Structure 1
Amino acid sequence: MSTISIKDIAAKAQVSTATVSYVINGTRNVSRKTRERVEQVIEEMNYKPNNAAQSLKRKRTNTIGVIAEDVTVFNVPEIIDGINDCADRLDMHILLTNLRLDKRIGRQFDQVDAYRKYAEDAVSELLGKQVDGMIYIGAHPRDLTGLFDTEGKPIVYTYCYTQNDVSIQYDDEQASFEAISYLTSKGHSRIAIISGAVDSMPSRLRLGGFYKAITAFELPFNPQWIKMGDWEAESGYRLAKELLETPEPPTAIVAMNDVMAVGVMRAAKELGIQIPEQLSIIGFDNREFSEYVSPSITTMDLPLHEMGYKAMEALSHILQGEKVETGEKPVCKLIERDSVAELAT
């Protein structure tokens, strides 16, 4: 696939992307002088129109509807950027709808009837605008089977899923396993974990990775080192104090998000425990603030841009009538900062 898009052609030829499209497709009259200038730039840049994209242009609106549950939630903007990145390369366009669920329902994601109408209205609006397909971006990973009907339009989900549609998810279990593996490489064996909400899919998968690592590295298993939080800093603080005040406290704590990791840091400070000299901490999500607290938080970075890109790519394949093989899940990446140290012997 060409890495040059019609936006690049338009910029160099000093015309609009629509004019470049008219020249390529011959769909409207363009002055001879403008046409020659565009054609010259196409030749100079060795632009090769994407056949699949050209086919979509002839048969469809070349527009994709993107439904975001809330654009203010940390994961959503980078996923949208990934969708835009791929759409640009395919010379496709997106229409973005923001459900604003964080403001409307908070984290009551189990209360489906509280937000079903917002989702249905968004789908109806996009169908009215003749989009070719849709991408739905969740604010929290969960099963959305039966939430709405797209009336036959193809849809791809990311950061959430249904039982019947293509979805792009990252590998939570692998990320948790890698976090524990990193701590063992630093000499830690007394490793505690503070989970998110017990009914959360990421919590279950990350706990699965934790248990696998315990077995793989033959680490001591202490049920008291497994705590169930709620994603908020206060739960990280409270549960970390419980862990650190035991007769045999852990030397490392994995918090299932960076927000709870900040709570762990607060508890350690109150107890006079130095980080990372006496306690190592790993968070999840690579939130922006994690780089600026002191010490900066070692964390697992989520492949959000890649998820958005793959979601758009998958939808493009579906629109071409191709079978989509999602293959391996995008993987998280360990970001090494200052909250983990070698265990002193």
Structure 2
Amino acid sequence: MAQVTLSDVARTAGVSLATTSRVLNGSSRVPGKAISQRVMQAAEKLGYVPNASAQALARSSSGLLGVVIQDLEDPYFSAVAAGFQEAAGGQGQLVLMAQTSRDADLTIVALGGLNAQRVDGVLMVGSLDLSAEQRAVFSDQLARVEARGGQVVTVGQSYGIGRTVYPADRDGGRAIGQAAIAGGYQRFALLDDVTRAPSAVDRAAGFAAAIEESGGRIEYHVPAPVTAAGGRVAGDALVRHLEEHPGGPMCFFAMTDAVAVAAMGRALHAGIRVPDELGVVGFDGIAAGRDIAPSLTTFDLPLRDIGRRAFELVHHPEDADLPETWEVHEDTITIPGRLWQGGSTSPPPT
């Protein structure tokens, strides 16, 4: 017989994992009496056995904060992490950081390690295509942080615990598609993220919608992971496609700046003229995109500021100072971006 988990009790009681953990693990942040009774009744009905170690840890504090990111080499993640670290350092807080290489199992190990260190708050950056079982484990680990009185902030994906910060992925994808059309492109290519990360799915959907609304279509879906290595694979594939299917300039939406920079490098090395034969668009607004030639057209996000504000939400959520342009709805925060016109795509006519 499978062991009864916190997730099972939460589902039966009809409350969140965080609430269930606070009731059963003895946190000082206990909900109302009626809810507590409902949780206790559900636990008794299912035969849930509380973990004595978890109960002891529920009331402890370490003074440490945890950050979990997917790829340190990707400037998107490192910029957000740097903003968080800078803000934490200014408050004398020590940060434990884990890179998980976009691997769900490694992320679970990282969260378990942070809980073993009794971190007082966690920032998770990035989205993953998870099974229901993996999502339940993620949520269970994050609920343990909240049960100790800590705060959880996730960027790009919600696990039902804490607050979630969403970049405007779908709107940004749509803005990129509209800009490509305005720039005169009639042929379009799109990175098809083989890992199916939710943020990439949303960006692709926005881009495709803009193209379809204009009467166009995506000519070429390039299968590759959303990594710099995937960008090199995509760049080589685009070169082959253009050689085999001539017929006018094509605009490629690379899904992230890291992918775009790598793909554009491979295309330029092969003699493809950017933006005349191939336009390349990223998403994120990393600093390196401004420094290359041609500079990268992208959907610009305030990456370091996301990290700094995430620290405020983790460290002192009641006094967090969020920009007025950030849309707050209950535990969800949506961050707008803006299209930045670089030299990697043809600009719209003036």
Provide the C-alpha distance between the structure 1 equivalents of 2:329 and 2:94, rounded to a whole number of angstroms: 23
Task: Write the letter of the residue equivalent to 1:210.
Answer: F
Select which of 180, 197, 201 maps to 1:200: 197
Decide whether the 8 Å contact of 2:186 with 2:216 is kept in 1.
yes
Decide whether the 8 Å contact of 1:64 with 1:92 is kept in 2.
no
Name the TM-score, length of structure 2 as normaliser.
0.64
**1:137 equivalenced with 2:124 (yes/no):** yes
CA 168–266 in structure 1, closer or farther in 2 if over 3 Å, else same: closer
Superposed counterparts of 1:243-262, under 5 Å: 243-244=241-242, 245-248=244-247, 250-262=249-261
What is the CA deviation profile of residues 15-59 of structure 1, one whole-angstrom value per residue up to 9, with x for unaligned ones? xxxxxxxxxxxxxxxxxxxxxxxxxxxxxxxxxxxxxxxxxxxxx
* Percent of residue pairs bearing the same amino acid type: 18
**1:190 equivalenced with 2:195 (yes/no):** no
What is the CA deviation profile of residues 153-174 of structure 1, one whole-angstrom value per residue up to 9, with x for unaligned ones? 2322233431233211212111
> Larger Cα Rg: Structure 1 or Structure 2?
1
Provide the C-alpha distance between the structure 1 equivalents of 2:344 and 2:257, rounded to a whole number of angstroms: 12
Provide the C-alpha distance between the structure 2 equivalents of 1:310 and 1:71, rounded to a whole number of angstroms: 20
Task: Write the letter of the residue equivalent to 2:112.
Answer: E
Decide whether the 8 Å contact of 2:153 with 2:163 is kept in 1.
yes
Partner in structure 2 of residue 277 of structure 1: 276
Partner in structure 1 of residue 290 of structure 2: 291
Provide the C-alpha distance between the structure 2 equivalents of 1:66 and 1:319, rounded to a whole number of angstroms: 20
**1:264 equivalenced with 2:251 (yes/no):** no
Partner in structure 2 of residue 37 of structure 1: none
Task: Write the letter of the residue equivalent to 2:137.
Answer: G
Task: Write the letter of the residue equivalent to 1:230.
Answer: P
Provide the C-alpha distance between the structure 2 equivalents of 1:214 and 1:185, rounded to a whole number of angstroms: 11
Provide the C-alpha distance between the structure 2 equivalents of 1:343 and 1:92, rounded to a whole number of angstroms: 45
What is the CA deviation profile of residues 314-345 of structure 1, one whole-angstrom value per residue up to 9, with x for unaligned ones? 4433699xx9724551123322221112489x
Provide the C-alpha distance between the structure 2 equivalents of 1:154 and 1:319, rounded to a whole number of angstroms: 15
Select which of 335, 340, 345 maps to 2:345: 340
Provide the C-alpha distance between the structure 2 equivalents of 1:69 and 1:154, rounded to a whole number of angstroms: 19
Decide whether the 8 Å contact of 2:182 with 2:348 is kept in 1.
no
**1:168 equivalenced with 2:173 (yes/no):** no
CA 153–183 in structure 1, closer or farther in 2 if over 3 Å, else same: same
Moved more, 167-176 or 254-263: 254-263
Decide whether the 8 Å contact of 2:177 with 2:208 is kept in 1.
no
CA 162–193 in structure 1, closer or farther in 2 if over 3 Å, else same: same
CA 62–319 in structure 1, closer or farther in 2 if over 3 Å, else same: farther
Name the TM-score, length of structure 1 as normaliser.
0.64
Per-residue deviation at 1:282?
1.1
Partner in structure 1 of residue 108 of structure 2: 116
CA 298–309 in structure 1, closer or farther in 2 if over 3 Å, else same: same
Provide the C-alpha distance between the structure 2 equivalents of 1:221 and 1:330, rounded to a whole number of angstroms: 28
Provide the C-alpha distance between the structure 2 equivalents of 1:172 and 1:276, rounded to a whole number of angstroms: 24
Partner in structure 2 of residue 20 of structure 1: none
Per-residue deviation at 1:135?
2.6
**1:331 equivalenced with 2:336 (yes/no):** yes
Superposed counterparts of 1:47-86, under 5 Å: 65-69=65-69, 72-73=72-73, 74-83=75-84
Q: Secondary structure at the match of 2:206?
A: helix
Partner in structure 2 of residue 146 of structure 1: 137
**1:228 equivalenced with 2:219 (yes/no):** no
Per-residue deviation at 1:267?
4.9
Task: Write the letter of the residue equivalent to 2:231.
Answer: A
Select which of 149, 156, 166 maps to 2:152: 156
CA 92–265 in structure 1, closer or farther in 2 if over 3 Å, else same: closer
Provide the C-alpha distance between the structure 2 equivalents of 1:77 and 1:264, rounded to a whole number of angstroms: 20
Per-residue deviation at 1:204?
0.7
Decide whether the 8 Å contact of 2:162 with 2:331 is kept in 1.
no
CA 208–139 in structure 1, closer or farther in 2 if over 3 Å, else same: closer
Q: Secondary structure at the match of 1:99?
A: strand
Provide the C-alpha distance between the structure 1 equivalents of 2:87 and 2:107, rounded to a whole number of angstroms: 29
Q: Secondary structure at the match of 2:336?
A: coil
* Alignment: residue pair count: 267
What is the CA deviation profile of residues 206-237 of structure 1, one whole-angstrom value per residue up to 9, with x for unaligned ones? 11111221243x23124x32222212232222
Per-residue deviation at 1:286?
3.1
